[in-house]
């Protein structure tokens, strides 16, 4: 079930919010847990049992991982942690990567005249996200940063919470543990603060991202031998904008929903396209993923504590994993390695520092955006050959214009929306629109709230009613 489907917007979400609003506050976690499992079952079917199985294992392991004052059972706790994390990772590897791995094995076997069957598994929606939530839960308990949950309902509310279950933000246990006790009292205030944020995300998704989707699809469908300079750049820039408004729109909707339910979920975007360096870009893009890899991979590997060589190695490991986390394709691995290499280059030559001179900042910002756009071509392309061909056409100007299929998709409406969306490249780094809309009482914020919840929400509702919405891009991850 998608956040932009009529079933969710007109039935499921109102039912859950009304139940949380009118029922005793001690029922909140139970309502969220039951509603979230129903939400997941509607979208994933029988895969809900895989989610439930992982939840049972991690919940039962939690109390066994808690350190005692003298850590007498440290070795036993370490073994339990390794076993549980290994199980979580194995489930992810099997369901998400078994098909890719067997394809590579089959290709090698074919070279030697043999044959190997290729596994064909349907990837359960949200598996990458709830696996990371489980790992965060057991690791934070093992480190003694938070207490294990003894109430299975509260645990289910955290893991299966429908605003963040399918596509994040990735909520580390330490960020939400103190919110799980059902002490919420200002329910109407939370509803009033969260709904404009949800509406902003809905407008981003339906009005901009979904409108650009057919244009981007048409550009990336052009065969490499028919690709042109104009088509390649239009597709790359269009996808850069589509992905941002789609994913940041989802995050705004998730954060707004969480706030309406009484939770403050972590921010996931902070004007990433205003970044001056790639290092800054990763502090602003999908921030919950960056924080997760920092806390559970980069720092345990040693971070930047053991010299430059180890720091570069750790960065490369993190971004190889970041690439493959997004999907079992070589394009994602290349995209991850590309960003890892850019981060290493910035650190090696001191380019990760924000230049003080204004004109240098403008140049660095333009260069950073250019590098990000090239990276998104790998991220979106169906295979490496297509990505390299498209980048080649972006680097070699020609005067062939757009193909017939692209011209047909490039309507006047999409041209206007594309030009409007391009403003995101020019906006200052602060303030970030989502938090401003949610909490600020300034006149600009009030005017924005009114505009989003009247004109924007009405237009979004019309688009949804006509069935022009599409699935969120990050649902596939």
Range of the domain at 240: 190-276+354-476
Same domain, 127 and 242: no
Q: Is residue 40 part of a domain?
A: yes
Q: Is residue 82 part of a domain?
A: yes
Task: Provide the pLDDT for residue 184.
Answer: 64
Q: Is residue 172 part of a domain?
A: yes
Same domain, 180 and 195: no
Crossing angle for the helix pair 229-260 and 210-221, to the nearest 10 degrees: 150
Q: Residues near 461 by Cβ (< 8 Å), separated by ≥ 6?
A: none
State the Cα angle at 306 between 355 and 349, rounded to 5°.
Answer: 25
Euclidean distance between CA atoms 114 and 147, whole angstroms: 53
Q: Is residue 111 part of a domain?
A: yes
pLDDT tens track, the chain, 477 positions: 788 888 899 999 999 999 999 898 889 999 999 999 999 999 889 999 999 999 999 999 999 999 887 777 888 999 999 999 999 999 999 998 888 888 888 888 878 777 778 878 888 888 999 999 999 999 999 999 999 999 999 999 999 999 998 887 999 999 999 998 867 667 788 888 899 999 999 999 999 999 999 999 999 999 998 999 999 999 999 999 999 999 999 999 999 999 999 999 999 999 999 999 999 999 999 999 999 999 999 999 998 888 899 999 999 999 999 999 998 899 999 999 999 999 999 999 888 887 877 778 889 999 999 999 999 999 999 999 999 999 999 999 988 888 878 999 999 999 999 999 999 998 888 888 888 887 777 888 888 888 888 888 888 888 888 876 677 877 766
Residue 145, SS3 per DSSP: coil
Domain boundary among 185, 210, 241: 185
Catalytic residue check, 186:
no
Same domain, 368 and 223: yes
Q: Where are the alpha helices (DSSP H) in 166-263?
A: 173-176, 187-203, 210-221, 229-260
Same domain, 403 and 268: yes
Q: Is residue 314 part of a domain?
A: no
Closest CA to 58 of 152, 129, 134: 134
**Under 8 Å between Cβ of 195 and 453:** yes
Euclidean distance between CA atoms 141 and 409, whole angstroms: 52
Domain boundary among 162, 185, 208: 185
Residue length, the chain?
477
State the Cα angle at 78 between 73 and 84, rounded to 5°.
Answer: 125
Euclidean distance between CA atoms 452 and 450, whole angstroms: 6
Same domain, 259 and 144: no
Same domain, 257 and 375: yes
Euclidean distance between CA atoms 377 and 236, whole angstroms: 6
Same domain, 105 and 150: yes
How far apart, in Å, are the Cα atoms of 237 and each of 86, 155, 424, 447?
A: 39, 41, 12, 29
In the set 133, 286, 326, 386, the catalytic residue is 326
Same domain, 242 and 120: no
Same domain, 231 and 85: no
Same domain, 170 and 203: no
Q: Is residue 328 part of a domain?
A: no
Same domain, 371 and 464: yes
Domain boundary among 161, 185, 209: 185
- Burial (Cβ within 10 Å: 0-12, 13-18, ≥19) of residue 443: exposed
Q: Is residue 346 part of a domain?
A: no
Q: Total domain count for the chain? A: 2
Task: Provide the pLDDT for residue 319.
Answer: 95
Q: Is residue 324 part of a domain?
A: no
Euclidean distance between CA atoms 370 and 21, whole angstroms: 47
Same domain, 216 and 176: no
């Amino acid at each position: 079930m998608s956040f932009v489907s009529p079933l969710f917007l007109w039935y499921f979400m109102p039912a859950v919010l009304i139940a949380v609003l009118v029922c005793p506050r001690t029922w909140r976690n139970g309502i969220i847990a039951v509603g979230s499992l129903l939400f997941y079952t509607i979208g994933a079917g029988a895969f809900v049992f895989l989610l439930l199985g992982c939840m049972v294992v991690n919940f039962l392991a939690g109390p066994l991982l808690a350190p005692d004052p003298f850590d007498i059972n440290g070795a036993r706790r370490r073994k339990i942690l390794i076993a549980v994390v290994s199980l979580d990772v194995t489930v992810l590897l099997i369901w998400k990567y078994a098909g890719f791995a067997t394809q590579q094995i089959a290709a090698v076997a074919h070279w030697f005249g043999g044959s190997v069957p290729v596994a064909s598994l349907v990837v359960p929606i949200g598996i990458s996200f709830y696996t990371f939530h489980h790992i965060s839960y057991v690791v934070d308990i093992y480190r003694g940063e938070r207490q294990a949950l003894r109430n299975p309902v509260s645990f289910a509310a955290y893991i299966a919470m429908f605003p963040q279950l399918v596509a994040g933000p990735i909520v580390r246990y330490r960020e939400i543990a103190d919110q799980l006790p059902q002490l919420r009292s200002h329910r109407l205030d939370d509803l009033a603060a969260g709904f404009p944020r949800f509406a902003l995300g809905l407008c981003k998704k339906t009005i901009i991202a979904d409108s650009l989707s057919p244009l981007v699809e048409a550009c990336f469908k052009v065969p490499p031998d028919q690709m042109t300079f104009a088509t390649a750049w239009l597709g790359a820039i269009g996808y850069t904008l589509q992905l941002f408004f789609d994913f940041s729109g989802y995050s705004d909707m998730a954060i707004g929903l969480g706030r309406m339910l009484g939770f403050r979920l972590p921010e996931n975007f902070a004007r990433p396209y205003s970044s001056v360096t790639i290092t800054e870009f990763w502090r602003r893009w999908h921030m919950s993923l960056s924080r997760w890899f920092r806390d559970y991979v980069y720092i345990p590997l040693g971070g930047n504590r053991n010299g430059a060589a180890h720091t570069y190695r750790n960065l490369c490991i993190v971004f190889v994993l970041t690439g493959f986390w997004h999907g079992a394709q070589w394009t994602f691995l290349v995209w991850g390695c590309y960003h890892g290499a850019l981060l290493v280059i910035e650190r090696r030559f001191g380019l990760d520092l924000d230049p003080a001179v204004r004109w240098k900042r403008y140049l660095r910002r333009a260069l950073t955006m250019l590098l990000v756009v090239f990276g998104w071509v790998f991220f979106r392309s169906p295979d490496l050959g297509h990505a390299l061909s498209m980048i080649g056409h972006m680097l070699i100007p020609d005067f062939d214009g757009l193909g017939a299929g692209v011209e047909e998709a490039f309507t006047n409406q999409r041209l206007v929306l594309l030009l409007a969306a391009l403003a995101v490249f020019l906006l200052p780094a602060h303030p970030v629109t989502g938090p401003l809309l949610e909490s600020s009482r300034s006149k600009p914020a009030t005017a924005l709230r009114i505009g989003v919840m009247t004109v924007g929400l009405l237009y979004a509702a019309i688009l949804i009613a006509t069935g022009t919405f599409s699935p969120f891009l990050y649902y596939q991850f």
